[in-house]
Amino acid sequence: AKDNGRDNYQYFTPSMNASMLERLQLEQHLRSAVLHQEFCLHYQPIVSMETGQITSVEALIRWNDPEYGWVSPEKFIPIAENNGLIEPIGEWVLEQALKDLSHWHAKGIKLDMAINVSSRQCINVSGVRFDTLLADAIKRHGIAAERLHIEITESMLLDDSPHCLEVLNSIRQLGVTIHMDDFGTGFSSLSYLRKFPISVIKIDKSFVDNALVNEADASLVRAIVMMGKSLDLQLVAEGIETRAQWILLKSMGCDFGQGYLLSRPLPAKSLTPILAQGETF
């Protein structure tokens, strides 16, 4: 792969800047990572604010490149979304996550699993629709569809194609619930919450942070929670780092919390004893 890389460089013009080169190199490493399955998943608990119990975990991808070390998904997921690698990566995530979930279920641990899905996966080019992939994976791993949650961002809903709505409706029909990630950060229109089969809103960390800092943002979060409730949606507060944030969001009526205060994302192996103990927060 290294030799190929050098061959390719002759096509670069001097005007290409360093960041572009860096990106192309990263892309090449990413291709090799897909080939050699250099990814792993970490899982972050989502805790019921009412009972303090872990009700689900969110699968978060991790990539350890032999040369770069750990590369943040914030960096490589957008690249993968652009060059199409998100499709094989997304399929790998789905497979691994369901494998780990079925192992936890086999141990008698009652748990739901949330998986992040990019819009590019929903409307994929390889010809297989994501709802078909999902239905097949759930069946193969013997998982009840109700235990699985798909996290999507507002950008997916911006895509006007009726195809996307069709895929999401079909996913919901399977029994899998759809969660709106990073709520409030995109160009969200409230009408999306009715048009698309959304069951849960995840309030973005920036709101969780700011709600404690100023009253205007606190009012905004309170309004989001009230609106969510009136639409019969559940609410998750993301990125809770302090006890004060937990108390505030709970008092506002949030149903679930997630963040470093409760737990960082952990490898399945490290999480198993915590889940098995039924630890409460």
| Residues within the interface to Ca ion (CB under 5 A) | 116, 151, 181-182, 238
Residue 93 in the binding site for ligand C2E (CB under 6 A): yes
By beta-carbon proximity to ligand C2E, the closer residue of 4 and 27 is 27
- Positions 21 through 50 that interact with ligand C2E (CB under 6 A): 44
By beta-carbon proximity to ligand C2E, the closer residue of 14 and 69 is 69
**Exposure of 39 in the CB half-sphere (CA atoms within 13 A):** 30
Residue 239 in the binding site for ligand C2E (CB under 6 A): yes
Residue 243 in the binding site for ligand C2E (CB under 6 A): no
Q: Which partner, Ca ion, ligand C2E, none, binds residue 255 by CB below 5 to 8 Å per kind? A: none
Nearest of 36, 5, 137, 26 to residue 73 by alpha carbon: 26
Tell me which of 30, 46, 47, 60 binds ligand C2E, using CB under 6 A.
60
Stretch that binds ligand C2E, among 5-13, 124-132, 133-141, 236-244 (CB under 6 A): 236-244
Q: Which partner, Ca ion, ligand C2E, none, binds residue 259 by CB below 5 to 8 Å per kind? A: ligand C2E
Q: Which is it for strands 112-116 and 39-48: parallel, antiparallel or unpaired? A: unpaired
- Secondary structure letter of residue 129 according to DSSP: -
Residue 56 in the binding site for ligand C2E (CB under 6 A): no
Beta carbon of residue 115, minimum distance to ligand C2E (angstroms, whole number): 7
Q: Which partner, Ca ion, ligand C2E, none, binds residue 100 by CB below 5 to 8 Å per kind? A: none
Beta carbon of residue 202, minimum distance to Ca ion (angstroms, whole number): 5
By beta-carbon proximity to ligand C2E, the closer residue of 15 and 248 is 248
Map residues 119-148 to x or -, x wherever contact with ligand C2E holds by CB under 6 A.
------------------------------
